[in-house]
Amino acid sequence: MLSTIEQLEDIMTEPSEDLINDLKQIDGDILLLGVGGKMGPTMAKMIKRAIVKGGLSKRVIGVSRFSTGTLKEELEDFGIETISADLLNEAELQGLPDVKNIIYMAGNKFGTTGNEHFTWAMNAYLPGRVAAKYSNSRIVVFSTGNVYPLTNVLSGTCTEETPVNPVGEYAQSCLGRERVFTHFSRKNETPMLIFRLNYAIDLRYGVLLEIAKQVYEEKPIDLRMGHFNVIWQGDANEYAIRSLLHCDSPPQLLNVTGPETISTRWVAEEFAKRFGKKALFVYEEQPTALLNNAAKSHQMFGYPRVSLLQMLDWTAAWVESDGATHNKPTHFQEREGAF
């Protein structure tokens, strides 16, 4: 079992042979915009490990404000170049180096309510500035399954062909991000891929951690969002990096998550068995949920390496050992789009 952050990150950043082989086909260096988020640090480390293991000469560069903490030093110690920049500052954005490959992870979600203007600036205005700056690069654009409507659990999940219908200003601004990047992809023939993700799992945060902690602390679990999808963060990171080979103009759309439609009730009961406790519930499952069909990404990259039951076992052990957490709730139960 994983008991330390060092063990967790070692597993999460281990590159597969498929990733190394794909990186060999990707010409140029890689720039991660928004590397300071939940996924950025482990993605940068995975790229660096793949570069070293593959004997490649690429640079990996992470851009963030780096306003607090020691992440900048941590990444540099790992051999990752860092640049401190506020992407909304035009001079700082234009001062970034020209790099062939961009993974765009900048954005704002939590705290949107009451601060909607900033969320729209980050999620819909900034993409246009970045797309203009990097018109000659290829860009993987992080987006979210929140751009889809809630769908009936019995009649199927949302594929890339499902018409978007975002609920709430956060999800609307994310669709704005997609539309603005798509405009510049068409205008400048910039190859892009829009990476619609939900939900990545790290033992320090995520849907499984939240449910596990509620069961462990014997708190009732809200069942109204009765089903969801998850994918191990290491697998999501690998898919994002390998997506650089699949950028196109106009952008390719790609749903990214695990293969299962997961029952909230079932997960809670699985944790209860592991903890020797009883799962407590409030409300009832609603007929609709936010569900993402990622069959296309599995065809492109293979099924995730880390299974759902493995994630449950690791998460349960992490909670029992009082492992470190980010204290960043996903609010996956939110049905009205208010973040």
Question: What pTM, to 2 d.p., does this model score?
Answer: 0.96
Of 232, 306, 313, 275, which is closest to residue 3 (Cα–Cα)? 313
Average pLDDT rounded to a whole number, residues 70-98: 97
CB 190 within 8 A of CB 138: yes
At residue 183, the pLDDT reads: 98
Res 326: pLDDT: 84
Q: Could you write out the three-class secondary structure of the chain?
A: CCCCHHHHHHHHCCCCHHHHHHHHHCCCCEEEECCCCCCHHHHHHHHHHHHHHCCCCCCEEEEECCCCCCHHHHHHHCCCEEEECCCCCHHHHHCCCCCCEEEECCCCCCCCCCCHHHHHHHHHHHHHHHHHHCCCCEEEEEEEHHHCCCEECCCCCECCCCCCCCCHHHHHHHHHHHHHHHHHHHHHCCCEEEEEECCEEECCECHHHHHHHHHHCCCCEECCCCEECCEEHHHHHHHHHHHHHHCECCCEEEEECCCCCEEHHHHHHHHHHHHCCCCCEECCCCCEECCECCHHHHHHHCCCCCCHHHHHHHHHHHHHCCCCCCCCCCCCCCCCCCC
Residues 6+ apart with CB under 8 A from 36: 62, 64, 65, 66, 71
Domains of the chain: 5-202+232-257+291-301 (3.40.50.720)
- pLDDT tens digits, one per residue of 103-127: 999 998 766 678 899 999 999 999 9
* pLDDT reading at 338 higher than 70: no
Say if strands 252-256 and 192-197 run parallel, antiparallel, or are unpaired.
parallel
The per-residue pLDDT for 329 is: 75
- Residue 77: pLDDT band (50, 70, 90) is very high
Q: Looking at the predicted structure, is the pLDDT value of residue 339 above 70?
A: no
The band of 337, judged by pLDDT with boundaries at 50, 70 and 90, is low
As a whole number of angstroms, the distance between CA 292 and CA 158 comes to: 5
pLDDT in tens, 253-265: 999 999 999 999 9
Mean local confidence (pLDDT), 130-153: 97
